[in-house]
Amino acid sequence: MGMSNQQRPLGTGFTPFTTAEEVLRGLDLTGKNVIVTGGYGRLGLETTRALAKVGASVTVAGRDLERARQAIEGIERAEASQLDLGDRKSIDDFATRWNASNRPLHVLVNNATPRPSPAHVLDARGYEIQFATSHLGHFQLTLALLPALRAAHGARVVNLSSGAQRFGVMRWDDLHFAKGGHDGLAAYAQVKRANVLFTVELDRRFAEEGIRSFAVHPGVIVDPQPPGAPRFESYRRQGLLDETGQPIIDPERGKKSLKQGASTIVFAAASPLLAGIGGVYLKDNDVSRIDDEPRPLTADSIPSEITSGSIDPEAAKRLWEVSAELLAR
């Protein structure tokens, strides 16, 4: 079935208010192995907790191993392992350790991503840091873990994206902003679109081998910010915080709690409702409809539906080829 046919809501019965625990209710993931990159903070930690609670064995892959171990202390069937997505050798070492363990990998959640920064930060290769870690790092990791994904005889790769994919532009001739014009939000939006395009091409290439891929918009989740904090005024203007600095939870308008945000991640990871489907972008625990209508971002409206450009198969193939070339340098 083609992408355009699959990218439409299923009518799952879940809502924007649904929590991760509610999505997983009645499921038993005993014997399933899961990797969650950055699974020791915020959405990643909620995802780890929820999947482990229903029986999955979860490996939290992160750069700060001690922090990861502390965060998952007390979570049964959760372990931490060293992984720096900005370091090619660290990615290879992690994949080598996993593959040598002969454990099939049932779910890979590519969750970790640096927060948008106004600074133009490059990695050691001269690659823009958002693109280098959130896309290229996960691209390298996923390909390195293909033997374990194949061994699961039915695996899912979940790529964290965002409604920012709607205004993301792939700067094919200057992916790393070397020619100037860097903007933290533009870099973030580009990589969030790249996360969806990677999902599309990954599914096209490996669906017949039982490896399906999903991109996820979890919703907008912000942490409390005391008045006077650097982000306070910006978040207030966006309708994300109240006057005391507490997050405004309004799921119908895309503003969610961590438990609500993690729900679509675990939906992608484990819901039987997605059987036979792949290469699609999810939001609110369902497949998103395609929406190419220009919609402004306001305090009352946070557009997050998928656009045709973000699931364009030709752009997805091009990104795959460019990514493979960048990794080979």
Selecting among 40, 188, 235, 281, the annotated active-site residue is 188
Alpha carbons 218 and 23: distance in angstroms, whole number: 13
State the pLDDT confidence band at 4, using cuts at 50, 70 and 90: low
Note whether 80 and 169 are same-domain residues. yes
- pLDDT at 113 (0 to 100): 87
Instruction: Note every long-range contact of 291-297, with CB atoms under 8 Å and residues 24 or more positions apart, other chains counting.
Output: 295/166, 297/238
Q: Where do we find the tokens 């489907």? A: 277
Residue 213 contacts residue 279 (beta carbons within 8 Å): yes
Domain count, the chain: 2
State the pLDDT confidence band at 3, using cuts at 50, 70 and 90: very low
Residue 319 contacts residue 327 (beta carbons within 8 Å): no
Note whether 172 and 23 are same-domain residues. yes
Tokens of 4: 């355009």
Over residues 50-70, the mean pLDDT reads 97
Measure the N-to-C terminal CA separation of the chain; round to a whole number of Å: 36
Least-confidence region, from 2-6, 69-73, 287-291: 2-6
What values do phi and psi take at 146, rounded to 5?
-55, -40
- pLDDT at 299 (0 to 100): 82
Q: Is 127 a catalytic residue?
A: no
3-class DSSP assignment, residue 322: helix
| Domain span including residue 226 | 222-253
Model confidence over 265-316: pLDDT tens digits? Answer: 999 999 999 999 999 999 999 999 999 999 988 888 899 999 999 999 999 9
Amino acid letter, residue 275 = A
Note whether 183 and 195 are same-domain residues. yes
Whether the pTM exceeds 0.85: the reply is yes
State the pLDDT confidence band at 117, using cuts at 50, 70 and 90: confident
Note whether 175 and 137 are same-domain residues. yes
Identify which of 12, 278, 42, 72 has the alpha carbon closest to the alpha carbon of residue 158: 278
Note whether 194 and 282 are same-domain residues. yes
Q: Is 136 exposed, middle or buried (0-12, 13-18, 19+ CB in 10 A)?
A: buried
Note whether 197 and 275 are same-domain residues. yes
CATH number for the domain that contains residue 71: 3.40.50.720
Task: Examine the pLDDT at 1 and tell me if it is beyond 80.
Answer: no
Catalogue the E-assigned strands of 26-124.
33-37, 57-62, 78-82, 107-110
